[in-house]
Amino acid sequence: MRIKYSKHLRDRLSLRKIEYDLPRAIFKQSSERYFDNETGHSIAVMKVKLYNKIREVMVAYVIEGDYVKILTIHAIGENQKENRIESGRWRKNQ
């Protein structure tokens, strides 16, 4: 499946000085996937080295026809993921 980056994502990568291929790697390699009930986007989460530390980083994406469009990327805090799951905002994909 082809992968495209949104303009917002490209801007964030530049602004935050994140490696250009990191969102693609997270999307392809993550085994942890959720559906965000608030935004309607799919989420992939993976631990990666970012800013010289191991952090959990999420990418939000949508599937549009024959390609995936990655919308945004950001590190998530220790409790952020658990809070979103417990509140029902994020539903684990089977």
> In the chain, what are the domain boundaries?
2-87
User: What pTM did the predictor assign?
Assistant: 0.93
Write the CATH number of the domain with boundaries 2-87. 3.30.2310
CB contact burial 64-77 (16+ within 10 A = b; e otherwise): eeeebbbbbbeebe
Angstrom CA distances, 90 to 2, 21, 62, stand at 25, 25, 15
CA-based radius of gyration for the chain: 13
pLDDT over 80 at 92, yes or no? yes
Tens digits of per-residue pLDDT, 3-62? 999 999 999 999 999 999 999 999 999 999 999 999 999 999 999 999 999 999 999 999
